[in-house]
Amino acid sequence: MTDIVNGLGRTTAYGALGIVLLILGIVLVDVLTPGRLGRLIWEERNRNASVLLSSALLGIGGIVFTSIWTTYDDFAKGLVSTAAFGMLGLLLMAVAFLVVDLVTPGRLGATLVEPEPHPAVWVTAACNLAVAAVVSASIA
């Protein structure tokens, strides 16, 4: 019974941390793109913004999953490493976004929230997932 209670406590802690990291991912995408992300997706039904945000959330989720899956036996150390790798993933996604913005014409953030579908959103989404895969693979 103690194992179950322990497991529930750890799951709650990792789940809360995962939710915080996902919220930070939403904030990051909102900061990098013009307009209010919530309004763009839920009111204006902007597909570009939803694909971009979805890729960031899937990427962070993958990093958190990998970090938990390969976690240390020490719960506190595992929780800290999950937070650290999650934050690093967010930072690297932001850097990758800014690099893509530098090497492509126009303002990437504005392009990605245009009402008409734009191929740049798929490139940026793939970049998010690729960065998350690199971070996930580096977790030992």
What is the predicted pLDDT for the residue at 45? 95
Using 50, 70 and 90 to split pLDDT, how confident is the model at 2? confident
Using 50, 70 and 90 to split pLDDT, how confident is the model at 137? very high
Rounded Cα–Cα distance for residues 124 and 93 (Å): 10
What are the tens digits of pLDDT across the range 34-63? Answer: 999 999 999 999 999 999 999 999 999 999
CA–CA distances in Å: residue 37 to residues 16, 23, 41, 50:
23, 12, 6, 9
The domain total for the chain is: 1
Q: What pTM value is reported for the model?
A: 0.92
Q: Tell me the mean pLDDT in the region 52-80.
A: 93
Yes or no: say if 57 and 25 are a contact pair by the CB < 8 Å rule.
Answer: yes
Pick the closest to residue 47 from 113, 106, 111 (CA basis): 113
- Range of the structural domain that residue 97 is part of: 1-139
